[in-house]
Amino acid sequence: MIDGDDVRADRVAMALLNARIAVSTAEPFATDDHVPHALRLALGSVPQDQLKVALERVRQEIEVFAL
């Protein structure tokens, strides 16, 4: 789950999509009305060298929105 009151998963997901990194928010996977601010990452389909770069970018975007 993403920590920080001002960090919204949908905003981070959109910023990552603009950087050509596709992630999902928790909304499609929620089983009730409470949807956590979380990102779902699919790691298996990305080559190892690209995965490291993509995960670093995910971290950077979360930090940007946490400021």
How far, in Å, CA of 16 to CA of 54, rounded? 9
Boundaries of every domain in the chain: 9-66
**What value does the mean pLDDT take over residues 3-17?**
83
Question: What's the pLDDT tens digit per position in 29-41?
Answer: 999 999 888 999 9
Over 60: is that where the pLDDT of 2 sits?
no
Over 70: is that where the pLDDT of 4 sits?
no
Alpha-carbon dihedral sign for residues 38, 44, 46, 47: positive
Over 60: is that where the pLDDT of 3 sits?
no
Q: How far apart are the first and last CA of the chain?
A: 17
Q: What is the pTM of this model?
A: 0.79
- What pLDDT score does 65 carry? 83
